[in-house]
Structure formats: structure tokens, C-alpha cells
Amino acid sequence: MPSFDIVSKLELSEVDNALAAMTREISTRFDFKGSKSTVTRKDMVLTINADDDLKLKQIHELLKMHMVRRKVEAGVLDFKEVEKAAGQSVRQNVNLRQGLDQELAKRIGREIKDAKLKVQTSIQGDELRVTGKKRDDLQEAIAHVRGMKVEQPLQYVNFRD
């Protein structure tokens, strides 16, 4: 039976390359001259330290721009609340989303089932496997999932006949 997997994978090496390019740009930009603004990554969390809210917003734009340049969708960034640090400086954590959580996998499975497509779904860890009798049914399922409003980027892999 034909099948494919719906996953959400992230290339950490591309994230590191985007952060390195962003750090170079921050060090050369005139509006960041004398600034102590930094972005660091530890595991799946980015920590942004900025001098003030204006620089934080500029770093957000730079981060999204450099991620997209490295072919990492900006939807993997999950911005948390802004914390006050010493003086006017601010700190913010940004989680990197990878893998489908149970809630999102159940929602996608329910949407496919409600669309009355002739496929079955099963959750396997952080992946969602979709199986059907015909390749056309699977392609309809992919088109339906692409039409859903999901902020996390999804990939469709392991398409087998």
C-alpha cells in the first residue's frame, strides 16, 4: 500500500550558518555600533540579548531574513516573552520547533478524516504516517494538509508505492 510521512525537520547546521551570518551583519551595521546585542544557540533554544526594544525588533527581522536565506522557514521560530535585563536591555528566548507534537499530529489526522479522504493516518513518534490504496488519494491528502493553517513548516517524505 502506498504511504508517506508528514514530518517537521530542522537542519541545525543551517541555523548555525544563519546565526553566524547574522552576527557578522550586526557587527558591521552602523545602527548596532557600540551595541552589546547578541544571539546565541544552546540546543533548541536561541537567546537574544539586545540593548533595547528597538534593537530587539531589528534582530527579529534580521533573524527571519537570514533563516529564509538559508532555506530554513521562519515558522520554526517560537518567540517567547520578552524579559527585562539590567538597565534598558532586554532578553528573549526563541524555541526552535522540530518534530510534530501529539496535539498537532492529532489535529492533522482529524482534518484528513473529516475531509472524507480514502486514507488512514497513524502517529509514529514525532511523525504522522498516511497510507492509502491509491497514489492519487495520497496526493489529495498532501494538497489538503498544505491548505491547512499550520504555522509550523511541514515536509512530506518517504513516499512509497
Report CA-CA distances (Å) from 27 to 13, 35, 85, 90, 140.
Answer: 21, 9, 21, 19, 48
Domain chopping of the chain, boundaries: 3-8+99-160, 12-96
Q: Could you tell me which of 152, 154, 158, 113 has the C-alpha nearest to residue 7?
A: 154
Gap between the Cα atoms of 108 and 66, Å rounded: 29
CB neighbour list of residue 149: distance below 8 Å, 6 or more residues apart: none
Which residues, listed in sequence order, are joined to residue 93 by a DSSP beta bridge?
47
Distance of CA 43 to the CA centre of its chain: 15
Gap between the Cα atoms of 20 and 74, Å rounded: 17
Gap between the Cα atoms of 48 and 95, Å rounded: 11
At 140-157, the pLDDT tens digits run 999 999 998 888 888 899
pLDDT at 149: 86
At 40-83, the pLDDT tens digits run 999 899 999 998 889 999 999 999 999 999 999 888 999 999 99
Pick the CATH number of 12-96 from 3.40.50.10490, 1.10.150.130, 3.40.50.1000, 3.30.70.990: 3.30.70.990
Q: CATH number of the domain at 3-8+99-160, please?
A: 3.30.70.860
